Structure 1
Amino acid sequence: MYKVQFPVDQSVETAVERRQAAEAARKTRIFNTRQRVMGLDLDALHKQTLEKKHSKEMERERDKDFDKLRLKHDQVLLQRDTEERKVREALHAGLTQYWNIQQRVEDSRDAGLKCGLRGVFGITIPAAELGPSSMQTFQGEDIGAAQRKREQMKQTARDLLAQRVQQERSCFEDKHRTSQLINELHERQGLTVCGSLQATEQAERLQESRRREERENLAEKWHTLTSTMMTEGWEAAVSQLQKGKPAATDMWKGISPEQLSAIYREREAQCMERQRWRDTEKNREAAWNSQLLKASGEARQEEKRTAELRRAKRIQADQFNKQLAKEQQAHQQYLDKDLYANKPTQEYFCQFNTTSR
C-alpha cells in the first residue's frame, strides 16, 4: 500500500515562532542597558559629566602648580650649591693664604737644611740630650714656650676660620629660611587678613629671636677669643655670659683639692643613686613578674570555667534540639498518617484550568 503525503498546515507553528521572536525582541529592547532610554536622569548625567571635567581640570592645574614648585625648589638648590661652592673656594683661598703667610718653609725648624744648606752649621744638640753641665738649659726656662705659643696661635686661627665659615653658612641658611617664610606669608595674604597679620608677627618674632641668638653667639665667640681661657687655668672656665652657673673645673688645669674632693663626692653619690635605682628596678621587675604569673593563673582558671560553662550550654542545647526533633517527627507522622489520609481523585484535578486566558 502506498502512503499518501498530505500537506501540513504550518500556520500555527509560524504564529508561535512569530510570537517568540517578538517576545525575544521585546526582552532585548527592555533589558539592554546601552539602547534603553526610559528611566534615565539626563540632568544627573550632565552634572556628573561637568563634575568629571572640573575634577580633571583641577588635577591639571594641581600638576602645573607642582611642576612650578619643583622648578622653584630646583632653583633654590642650585643657588645653595653655588653659594656653598663659593664659600668652599673662599675657605680654600684663606687656607692657602694662611699657609703662605704663617707656615712658610723658611720659618720651619729645619729651614737651614731645606733652603740651600744655609743653616747646615747651625745644627745643635737636641735639648733632651743636654745635661746640667752643658750650661745650655736651666730648670724653669720653659724651652717649648715659643713652639706652644705658635701652636696655640695656629689653633686659634683655625678655630676662628671654622667659626667664620659656620657663621656664613648659618647666615645663608637663615636667609634662605627667612625667604621661604616670607614667600609663604605672601601666598597666605590672600586668604584672611587676620591670618596674614599673625603670620607676619610670628615671622618678626622668629627673626628677632634669631638675631638675638646670633648676637649672643658672636659675643660668646668674642669673649672666648679675647679671654684668658687659653691659659688653661680653672679660673678662666667661668663664663662672663653665664654667671651663677658652675664651671666644668674637671676639664681645666690647676684644680683645687676641695673641688676635686667635691667631684669625687658627687661621683660617689651618683654611683649610689644609680645602685638604688637598679635595686628599685629589680624589685619592680620581680613584682611585675609575680603579678603576671598571678594574672596568667587567674586567666587560665577563667578560661577553664568558661570552657566548662560553654560545654554545659552545648549539652543543654543538644538535648533541646533532640526534643524538638522528636516533637517535629511525631507531628509529621500525625500529618502523614492521620490528617492527610484521604488522597484526591481525578475529579479534584479536573476542576482547574478549565478556561483560556
Structure 2
Amino acid sequence: MYKVDLPVDESVRQAVERRRAAEAERKSRIFNTRTRVIGVDLRALHKQQGDKQERKEMEKQRDVSYDLLRLSLDEMAMHQKKEEDEVRGELARDLVQFRAIHQRAEDSRDADINYDRKGAPTTCESVPDSALGPASMQVFLGEGIKEDEKKRSQMELNEKNLRAQKEEREQRVREEKKRELLTSRVLVEKDLRAVQLNALEEECKREAQVALSHYNQAQAEERMEREQQERMRREGEELAELRYMVTSDLLTERPEAAARTTESSPNAPRVLTDRWKGMSPQQISDIHRKREEQCFEKERLREREKRRELAWDYHLTEQSRQQERDERKDMELQRERRIQLDKYNQQLAREQQAHQQFLDKQLYTNRPSVQYFTQFSTSSR
C-alpha cells in the first residue's frame, strides 16, 4: 500500500483553535487581579478623582493665564504698531521738510534752464558752438519749444496745489481750534455744573444741620420739662410719705397698733411686724421654756442615733469578717484548681510534643520542593 497524505478535517482544527482561544480568554479573565478581586478601592478612586479635579483646575488656570498673556501681548503689539506708525509719520514729515529745505527745484543744477535764470538761452541758435564743448551740451535741437508756457502752467498748477494744501491745512487748524474750543466750553460747563451741585449740596447740608439743631433743641426742652414734672411728682410723693410716717403708728409707738384680731382679717398674721415694739416677759419665758424642751428632745434623738450607728458598725464588722473567710476559702480552691490545670497542661504539652516529633521524624519525611507548588494555578480548569 502507498502512503497517502489525507486532508486534515478543518472542523476538528477549528474546534481545537476555538477551545484554545476560549481557554486563553478564560485564563486572562481568571488570573487578572483587577477583575478577580471583589470590591472597589474607594481610596484610589477618590485619589484619582481628586487628581483629575486638580488637573482640570490647573488647566483652567493655565488657560486663564494664557488668555491674560495673549491680551497683554495684543496690547503690546498694538502699542508697538502705534509707535511705529508715529515714527513712520515723523520720518515722512522730516523727509518732506528736508526736501523742502535742501532739495528745492530752484537750487538744482538745471535751475537756470528750467526757471530762465542767469540769462540762460532759450534757443539753440543763440549759443555758439565754441562755447559748448562735447561734454557741456545742455541745449539740443528741438528742445525748449513752448518751454515757457509749460513752466508757467506747471508753476500755476503747483501754486494752485500749494494754495489748496494751505487752505486745507488752515481749515484743519480752524476745525481743530473749534473742536478744542467746544471741548473747553463743555469742560467749563461741567465745572460750573459741578460747582453749582456742590453749592446746592452744601446748602442742603446746612439746612439739614439747622433743622437737626432745631429738632435737638425741641427734644432737649421737652426732656427738661419731663424731668421737671418728674422731679415735682417725686418731691410730692416724698412729702406725702414723710407726712404719713410722722403721723403713723410706727413713730407714735402704740402697742395696740401691732395687735390684730382674727375676726377683722382671719388670713392675716396675728402680729404686724412693722408696728411691733417688743415682747412681754411672759412671752420671753415661754420661748426659753420651749427652747429647753427642744434641746432635751434633740439630745434624746442624738443618743438614739448613736446607739443605732454602733449596732450598724458591729453588723458591718461581722459581715466583713465573714466575707474575708469566704475569700480565703475561694483563694484556696482557686490555687488547687490552678495546680490541677498546670498538671493537665503539662501532660497535654508532652503529648503534643511527642506527636510533633512523630510528624517531623517519621510521617513527614518527604518535604515538597518548589516545583510542587509551582504546578498549581497554571490552568483555568
Q: TM-score band, normalised by the shorter chain? A: 0.3 to 0.5
Q: Please identify the structure whose Cα radius of gyration is greater.
A: 2
Greater length-normalized contact order (CA 8 Å, ≥ 6 residues apart): 2
TM-score by length of 1: 0.34
